[in-house]
Chains A and B, each alone.
Chain A
Amino acid sequence: MEIKIVRNVLAANAELAGTIRERTRAHDILLINMMSSPGSGKTTLLEKVIPLLKNKGVRTAVIEGDITTTMDAERLAPLDIPVAQINTEPFGGDCHLGAEVILPALENFDLSRLDLVFIENVGNLVCPAEFDTGADLNLVVLSVTEGEDKPLKYPLMFRVCQLAVISKTDLLPYLGLDLNRLKSNLAHVNPQLPILELSAVKMVGLAELVDWIDRNLKK
């Protein structure tokens, strides 16, 4: 006997993501979900961009997602901003942050005193793309050392994002990377995806990222 069910497998996550959106909307907070491969420079980018936002009076907090260790959270400590650490599992563990871990992480913050919250997702181009975190915007960081082919290999990631940041451009002179081919591959997968090129360590291109964030702030 066949019984029709037709239930969305990610419905429970989507419902929690909706709760997160209600909560951030109530405080006019912009929630940005940063995703990338491991080692693309997400934490370095946060280290450099948060002080620039602070100078503009943007009150920022970060939710750090790592499978294990609090190293990233410790790196952000000198910025003197609220940081909530999520460890999915001490050894191994989950490959993405679902809405069910973002919601309690938000409770660590006094939302009435924030304008912007970054989620630094687990480094992975596959799984995080699948799970709605409740963020207003998804941002993917792709470093120039990763090769031109990544958008074609992980199309869902580049389709769910509203901005692609090409990072570590200071390394381009040392690499055989064809930057135009990388950009054309991004355009193949998502023709409407804006692209920013930057080098966080050389502080190049950060103003454009700050502008993009600024334009999307809710207050």
Chain B
Amino acid sequence: MHELTIAQNIIRIVHDELEKIPGLKIVECVRFRAGRLNAIIPESLKFNFDILKKDYPMLDQANLEVAETPIIIRCRHCQAETEITEPLFLCKACGSADLQMISGQEMFVDSIELKQTDQL
């Protein structure tokens, strides 16, 4: 269900960015990135995005691409970096629990792809 709010925020951000660009704009693609820990269901996010985009002529042809960032932690004891692939948050090198999140818990609109104006 959080996908609905996130889809609304994605559209708001893209719309806001489009207003800064002069001229006629048609968005082909919106690239979104979420951390693995955010547990985003891409199908659900796209489903919500596809419903909401219909209210925005600049966006109604846009395809949402969803990429996932792996969970990476850095150990504060031995400085080793580990990718966390299962729910066990310990340093793989020394076993410490004193970890700093490097990635895997952030969501952002990475970029948008606009149709070339000569294609319009």
Contact = CB atoms under 8 A, between A and B. Distances in A.
Interface string B1-41: 11011100110111001000100000000001000011100
Interface in B43-78: none
A8 interface: yes
Contacts of B98: 192
Contact of B2 (A6, A7, A130, A151): A130
Given A94-B5, A155-B87, A9 B107 contact: yes
B114 A94 contact: no
Contacts of A126: 1-2, 39
Contacts of A95: 1-2
Given A2-B112, A126-B39, A188-B88, A9 B10 contact: yes
Contacts of A209: none
A218 B86 CA distance: 37
Nearest to B110: A6
B103 interface: no
A126 B1 CA distance: 9
B101 to A, nearest CB: 9
B111 interface: yes
- B contact residues, range: 20 to 34
Contacts of A159: 37, 89, 105
Interface string A71-98: 0000000000000000000000011101
A70 B15 CA distance: 36
Given A9-B9, A10-B107, A190 B89 contact: yes
Contact of B89 (A3, A6, A154, A191): A191
Interface in A1-56: 1-10, 12
A3 B108 contact: no
A126 B38 CA distance: 9
A82 B109 CA distance: 40
Contacts of B5: 94, 96, 98, 127, 131
Contacts of A127: 1-2, 5
B97 interface: yes
Contacts of B17: 3, 5, 7
A-B pairs with the 4 shortest C-beta distances?
A191-B97, A95-B1, A127-B2, A9-B107
